[in-house]
Amino acid sequence: MNYTFQAMTQEQAEEIATNWHYNDEYSFYDMDADQEDLQEFLDAEKRNESYFMVIKNKEVIGFYSFNQITKDTIDIGLGMKPNLTGNGNGLEFLKNGLEFAKSKYNPKEITLSVATFNQRAIKVYKKVGFKEEETFVQATNGSSFEFLKMVLLC
């Protein structure tokens, strides 16, 4: 694994919340787009030990969250540094995150949820073997949005 995963610090969480802003429709993923999500992200106790910064060549390139749903299931969330998105970096970033999840948690399955408009991400998830499970509507960012739940069998 050529990526390093380190527990997210409060300073790093604040840096992401304040300075990571995505372009166009991807601004949906800005941390300050939903105040409830932002408060949770900035609360070190709620982040607990489930958020990790991803470092490559001594540079922060993104973060992951890993939530143990059951003994055998890990749900992941992820975010790449905005200036690195849309440039073909996603597949390697995802593969390394999945390897970390498998080595740390030894799950039988890994799940994630992605906004259905984000076809760029869905394409990458499918490349590594995630399968579509179901769509659902969730209130966030001041409205309701459709999400796709995806599952990867380990």
Q: Residue 39: what residue type?
A: Q
- Residues in the chain predicted with pLDDT less than 70, given as ranges, are 1
Query: DSSP state, 83?
Result: G
Residue 66 has what pLDDT?
97
The residue range of the domain holding 63 is 3-153
Residue 13 has what pLDDT?
96
Domain tally for the chain? Answer: 1
What is the reported pTM? 0.93
Query: DSSP state, 130?
Result: -
Chain centroid offset of residue 23 CA: 17
